[in-house]
A and B are shown apart, each in its own frame.
Chain A
Amino acid sequence: MLSDTNEKELIRRCRKNDREAFNELVLIYQNKVINIAYGMLSNKDDAYDAAQETFLKVYRYLDKFEEKSSFSTWIYRITVNVCNDILRKRSKTAPTISIFSGKPTGDQEPAELEIKDSSPTPEDHAESTETQALVRAALDELSEEFKTVITLFDLEGLSYDEIASIIKCPVGTVKSRLNRARNALKKKLSQNRELFL
């Protein structure tokens, strides 16, 4: 990994439109950015597009980077935001969800949700085992918030502090959100529990 001084120097050169310096920065961060995107989007092509979009934004907005957070925090924050944008666009094209069909009573159960099967096809995955595929599918069904913390902590190994900086919330919130995210993941995987024991 590049030292802080070297990274600062690269950023300084980037600000002077040094494309070589920019390409060096991309080389350093591209895999991490792609994998954060893959964790959130569960689709290789979307992850690639999101990573490209992230670096385009980095290129465009580098002069707005004020160095109050680390550069990595800044890039990863952009990545998360780009992915959340994509996830929201995906959810806008989802079909109507009918929740209640009439006046709710004490016994009323919500109507069944009709959710189109938009799970990734095998070609979209990098997973090679059934367990990995199940985890990927379960991850894909989580909310944006939960996907984000699981991706950053469990898939990418970032610390609580780093994650708190990236998603701009207190460390305590990161921890509790991670807790809830894991519980949600466990619920989804509970039918195949034996594969994880």
Chain B
Amino acid sequence: MDCEQFLSMLDRYVNNECDEAEKALMQEHADACASCADELSFSLGIKAALSSMPKLDAPDSFISDLNKKIDAQIVPNKKRFYLSHIHKASSAVAACLVFAVILGTDVGDLSQNTEPVISETLNVSDINETEASEVTPPQASADIFKEPDIPYLESPGNYIIPVPTSVPQRVYVPQSSIVNTKENKALSPTPVSKQSSPKKINIDLVAKAASKEPVSQVAQQTENQIEPTVSTAAPDKVIVVEPTTPHSKVELPVYMDDKDSIIVAPSVKKNSEIKFEDFELFETEKLLEAFSLAELPSNKAIVATPTALTAVTSLGDVDERNITIVDNGAIGGSLFISSADEETVSGILDKYISVVNDKCYLLTMENYNAFIDELNAHGISYRDYMIPGKSTNVSFKLIVS
């Protein structure tokens, strides 16, 4: 056994997953190699430290405290509805929308052949300029990753939240435009078009509310405002997709806790526009029940959280890395790598990527092409979502493998 083999088996050895023959080889090598022996000692020491970390006991009052909260129906973390800001990077709209496009075997319009790598360009129209102008864009470069203050709604009620017809990275909605009303009027559907008022999203919280306290918010008329009406109609099916990295956020109006969920959208044809009304919502488990990958209808695309995505795409024994591509301080795109070859991937990442506090990987545009070349040379699958920095219409190139 050489050092490379020893180190590759170290984790299994520490986890006590090696058979007797492997253990003997490991021990033999450790006896002969001081450096590997040291590494083994270090790994075992950390494992021992983790195993012996002190445990907490629930305080005596835990159950009574809990029961008091249940009785009072006080919920520490209510459902929150985040409305976030339009974010401009450089001179472009930095819409880092992550679409995981999972296509069935017959992809119709979306592919010309049955090759495993399929590409399609999706044009997403720019965000509403009126709304954009209501926001002071953050400073470029240095503040590019600064999270703006996000107003959120914490109280139950029926809310109507105006949302642009396009699917932007972030949408600013003036908080004064958010209406909570209690009138029982049917909400007639608003025609959706680029020029018209933004689509109304009706969120029904009443059924889920723990508190019955009303919230008063009065709509103020602005150019893109809608009349304050409410409906008892079933809520629109909207879900927030979790960010792939801290810097490539996709936020739709509603944050749903507890579950990973999946939106199934219609065919992502060229120049098409994704509309909220076209989305269907599935919980991960139900989606898996509804169709396996092979059975996925060819006109369906899926927008998913990373966790749900992993479940749906059944990547198997692979490891996904989410990488943000930075272009001159602006977000240039994001990229997923899927590979079971941990060692090769780590090697390539180390060469090109700046790791920032374990939370995200950053790759510069300058190194991007070389990085992709090396992934291709090793036959490593990836998906990248690049944003052309200068255009006002944001295009996405989707590479599905």
A142-161 interface with B by 8 A CB criterion: 142-143, 146, 150, 154-155
Interface residue tally of chain B, by bracket?
Answer: 35 or more
For A156, give the chain B residue with the smallest CB separation: B55
Query: Contacts A61-B258, A113-B357; is A101 near B142 (CB within 8 Å)?
Result: yes
For A77, give the chain B residue with the smallest CB separation: B258
Q: How many residue-residue contacts, CB under 8 A, span A and B? A: 191
- Distance in Å: Cβ of B353 to nearest Cβ of chain A: 11
- Distance in Å: Cβ of A161 to nearest Cβ of chain B: 14
A163 at the interface (CB under 8 A from B): no
Are A196 and B62 in contact (CB-based, < 8 A)?
Answer: no
Are A154 and B47 in contact (CB-based, < 8 A)?
Answer: yes
Query: Contacts A55-B66, A105-B366, A186-B42; is A170 near B315 (CB within 8 Å)?
Result: yes
A8 at the interface (CB under 8 A from B): no
Query: Contacts A27-B63, A168-B284; is A132 near B38 (CB within 8 Å)?
Result: no
Are B63 and A30 in contact (CB-based, < 8 A)?
Answer: yes
Interface residue tally of chain A, by bracket?
Answer: 35 or more
A104 at the interface (CB under 8 A from B): yes
Query: Contacts A99-B362, A168-B284, A196-B49; is A186 near B43 (CB within 8 Å)?
Result: yes
Are B58 and A31 in contact (CB-based, < 8 A)?
Answer: yes
B143-168 interface with A by 8 A CB criterion: 143-147, 150
Q: Which residues from chain B contact A55 at a C-beta distance below 8 Å? A: 66
B92-110 interface with A by 8 A CB criterion: none
The secondary structure that dominates the B interface is mixed
User: Which listed residue, A96, A180, A196, touches B146 by the CB 8 Å rule?
Assistant: A96
**How far, in angstroms, from A157 to B329 measured CA to CA in the complex?**
42
Query: Contacts A23-B63, A101-B141; is A126 near B54 (CB within 8 Å)?
Result: yes
Q: Which residues from chain A contact B41 at a C-beta distance below 8 Å? A: 196-197
Are B56 and A34 in contact (CB-based, < 8 A)?
Answer: yes
Q: Which residues from chain A contact B318 at a C-beta distance below 8 Å? A: 170, 172-173, 176
**How far, in angstroms, from A61 to B307 measured CA to CA in the complex?**
21
Query: Contacts A49-B76, A177-B319; is A155 near B62 (CB within 8 Å)?
Result: no
B267 at the interface (CB under 8 A from A): no
Query: Contacts A113-B356, A169-B310, A185-B46; is A53 near B77 (CB within 8 Å)?
Result: yes
Q: Which residues from chain B contact A81 at a C-beta distance below 8 Å? A: 257-258
**How far, in angstroms, from A77 to B58 measured CA to CA in the complex?**
19
**How far, in angstroms, from A180 to B320 measured CA to CA in the complex?**
12
Are A176 and B356 in contact (CB-based, < 8 A)?
Answer: no
For A109, give the chain B residue with the smallest CB separation: B354
Query: Contacts A113-B357, A146-B358; is A68 near B42 (CB within 8 Å)?
Result: no
Q: Which residues from chain B contact A173 at a C-beta distance below 8 Å? A: 310, 315, 317-320
Q: Which residues from chain B contact A53 at a C-beta distance below 8 Å? A: 76-77
Are A56 and B70 in contact (CB-based, < 8 A)?
Answer: yes
For B246, give the chain A residue with the smallest CB separation: A91
Are A68 and B257 in contact (CB-based, < 8 A)?
Answer: no
**How far, in angstroms, from A114 to B72 measured CA to CA in the complex?**
42
User: Which listed residue, B59, B69, B316, touches A172 by the CB 8 Å rule?
Assistant: B316
Q: Which residues from chain A contact B43 at a C-beta distance below 8 Å? A: 182, 186
Are A168 and B260 in contact (CB-based, < 8 A)?
Answer: yes
Bitwise, B163-204 to A at CB < 8 A (1) or not (0) is 000000000000000000000000000000000000000000
Query: Contacts A56-B66, A56-B76, A154-B50; is A170 near B310 (CB within 8 Å)?
Result: yes
A16 at the interface (CB under 8 A from B): no
B41-86 interface with A by 8 A CB criterion: 41-43, 45-59, 62-63, 65-67, 69-70, 75-77
B326 at the interface (CB under 8 A from A): yes
Are B63 and A135 in contact (CB-based, < 8 A)?
Answer: no
Bitwise, A26-51 to B at CB < 8 A (1) or not (0) is 11001100110011000010011101
**How far, in angstroms, from A101 to B328 measured CA to CA in the complex?**
9
Are A196 and B63 in contact (CB-based, < 8 A)?
Answer: no
Q: Which residues from chain A contact B310 at a C-beta distance below 8 Å? A: 168-170, 173
B128 at the interface (CB under 8 A from A): no
User: Which listed residue, B11, B59, B362, touches A48 by the CB 8 Å rule?
Assistant: B59
- Distance in Å: Cβ of A62 to nearest Cβ of chain B: 12
Query: Contacts A104-B364, A113-B356, A170-B317; is A131 near B49 (CB within 8 Å)?
Result: yes
Are A31 and B55 in contact (CB-based, < 8 A)?
Answer: yes
User: Which listed residue, B54, B142, B147, B356, touches A128 by the CB 8 Å rule?
Assistant: B54
* 23 contacts across the A-B interface (CB closer than 8 A): A26-B63, A48-B62, A49-B76, A53-B76, A53-B77, A68-B285, A85-B77, A98-B145, A99-B326, A99-B362, A100-B328, A101-B142, A113-B357, A127-B53, A135-B50, A136-B53, A150-B50, A154-B50, A155-B50, A173-B320, A180-B319, A180-B342, A197-B42
Residues in A lying within 8 Å of B, measured CB to CB: 19, 23, 26-27, 30-31, 34-35, 38-39, 44, 47-49, 51-53, 55-57, 59-61, 68, 78, 81-82, 85, 91-92, 96-106, 108, 110, 113, 115, 126-128, 131-132, 135-136, 141-143, 146, 150, 154-155, 167-173, 175-180, 182, 184-186, 189, 193, 195-197
Among all A-B residue pairs, the 6 with the closest Cβ atoms: A172-B317, A196-B45, A154-B50, A30-B58, A176-B319, A104-B364
